Amino acid sequence: MTDLTNRPPLITTDELAIDYKDDSLTLLESRAEGVPAEISDDFTYGQWQDLIADINSEAKRLEALRVNVKEPYLRAGSTVDGFFNGLKQRASQASSKVLGPCQAYMRRKADEERRSREEQARKLREEQERREAEQRRAEEQAEKLREKRGPVREAKAQEAESRAALAAREAERLANEASAAEEQARAKSADLGRTRSATGTLGSLKDSWSFEITDIDMVRGAPLWPYITRAVKEQAIRAWLKANAPENLSENEDWQPLKGVRFFRTSKLQVRR
């Protein structure tokens, strides 16, 4: 592979400054330095308005020159992008061809592991319920034996209470194990299907949510607003302003239709030649 680290730049600022030295702009800048702090009559204003037109014309000429000078570099950039994007597309296609069966296997593996954990949790819950039922029967037996007094019945009642206590402890243990198994069954797919190859590469599934819009008019903006960047908010406000701003408004009339936004009018000089 070619080493490009020491390749010189295609063009530099110094080269551009030499090739496109522009004395006309320097002259316009010098003329602009003489503008007074305040203009008091139309004749004087007209002279400086003409200078604005001259500067605007120069800016348009420079922009056209910039586009012309940059165009071959843009073509070169497009050529480079096209070449390497083609290689990247081939790599992506090769990866997709292998990804399909591998991803299907990992999903099956994760699903099987999840079902296994769910089945383990179900069996533990069943055993817990059996122990709890055993506890209730032993407690009922002890209560009935105590209703009929006598040393033999008292001994049997104590024995039944011991069985009930043992069943209660076992039911509690099973409940804890079942809760842990249920929690494991709710694990992320990455924990259920993680697989390392013989050479050390690690594969896992990454869970994610996606969406499709079924009715855009039903989507409420308020819940989404906190997750929209300020730049996008400003863009939306600007578009709303462009569509809704009144054209005719008296000088003293205020227009503030949106909370949190202050709207105001400005006037900007336009000079045409």
pLDDT (tens digit per residue) in 41-55: 999 999 999 999 999
Question: Smallest Cα–Cα separation from 66: which of 16, 140, 117, 110?
Answer: 16
Q: Domain for residue 248, yes or no?
A: no
- Hey, what amino acid is at 108? R
C-alpha–C-alpha distance, residues 112 and 268, integer Å: 69
Q: Tell me, what's the pLDDT at 38? A: 93
Q: Tell me, what's the pLDDT at 1? A: 61
Q: Domain for residue 268, yes or no?
A: no
pLDDT tens for 128-156 read 999 899 889 888 888 888 777 677 777 88
Residue 215 has which token pair? Answer: 């009715």
pLDDT tens for 84-136 read 999 999 999 999 999 999 989 989 998 898 898 899 999 999 999 998 998 89
Phi, psi of 196 (to 5 degrees): -110, 135
Neighbouring residues of 185: CB distance < 8 A, sequence distance ≥ 6: 114, 117, 118, 120, 121
What's the domain count of the chain? Answer: 1
- pLDDT cut 90: percent of the chain above it: 51
Dihedral over Cα of 163, 168, 170, 171: its sign: positive
- Hey, what amino acid is at 76? A
**Spacing of C-alpha 35 from chain mean position:** 51
C-alpha–C-alpha distance, residues 167 and 155, integer Å: 18
Q: Exposed (0-12), middle (13-18) or buried (19+): which is 107, by Cβ within 10 Å?
A: middle
Number of Cα atoms under 13 Å in the Cβ half of residue 217: 0
What SS3 string covers 53-81? Answer: HHHHHHHHHHHHHHHHHHHHHHHHHHHHH
The pLDDT confidence band at residue 243, using thresholds 50, 70 and 90, is very high
Expressed as residue numbers, the domain containing 65 is 21-29+39-192
**Over residues 176-187, mean pLDDT:** 88
Q: Domain for residue 251, yes or no?
A: no
pLDDT tens for 221-236 read 889 999 999 999 999 9
pLDDT at 4 over 70: no
Q: Tell me, what's the pLDDT at 35? A: 93
Residue 102 near residue 135, CB atoms below 8 Å: no
Residue 251 gets which letter from DSSP?
T
Q: Domain for residue 100, yes or no?
A: yes
The pLDDT confidence band at residue 204, using thresholds 50, 70 and 90, is confident
Q: Domain for residue 231, yes or no?
A: no
Q: Domain for residue 163, yes or no?
A: yes
The greatest distance separating any two alpha carbons of the chain, rounded to the nearest whole angstrom, comes to 128
Q: Say what the pTM is.
A: 0.60
Phi, psi of 195 (to 5 degrees): -140, 130
Q: Domain for residue 266, yes or no?
A: no
Q: Domain for residue 253, yes or no?
A: no
Residue 183 gets which letter from DSSP?
H
